[in-house]
Amino acid sequence: MKIKYIIIVILLASLGSIIYGFTIMESNPVIANKYIGFGTVGIFLIAMPLFLIKESKGKKVKDYMLTEENIRKMQGKKEEKPDNQ
């Protein structure tokens, strides 16, 4: 099974849990808050990291860091080398 489908299942289960929690809020608020909390944990602590790992495979972290070299590239300036080298 591909990780893409696992992420989708986790996301749908989490959203379903949150929606169910809001629907039973009036009858049983303690359990409703647990469903909402577990749904939120599922989205932000399980699904999102899995998605980020899946999408960042094969990419260099250095390309996304804010270094002097990358700032110069964004500004369109030539790369300046120090004279003492």
Q: Residue 82: what pLDDT?
A: 60
What are the phi and psi torsion angles at 24 (to 5°)? -100, 10
Which amino acid appears at position 78 of this protein?
K
Map out the domains of the chain as residue ranges.
3-75
* CA–CA gap between residue 39 and residue 18 (Å, rounded): 5
CA atoms of 75 and 72, how far apart (whole Å): 5
CB atoms within 10 A of CB 10: 17
Q: Which residue has the higher pLDDT, 63 or 44?
A: 44
Contacts of 69 (CB under 8 A, 6+ apart): 79
pLDDT digits (tens, 9 = 90+) for 25-54: 999 999 999 999 999 999 999 999 999 999
C-beta separation of 71 from 80 below 8 A = no
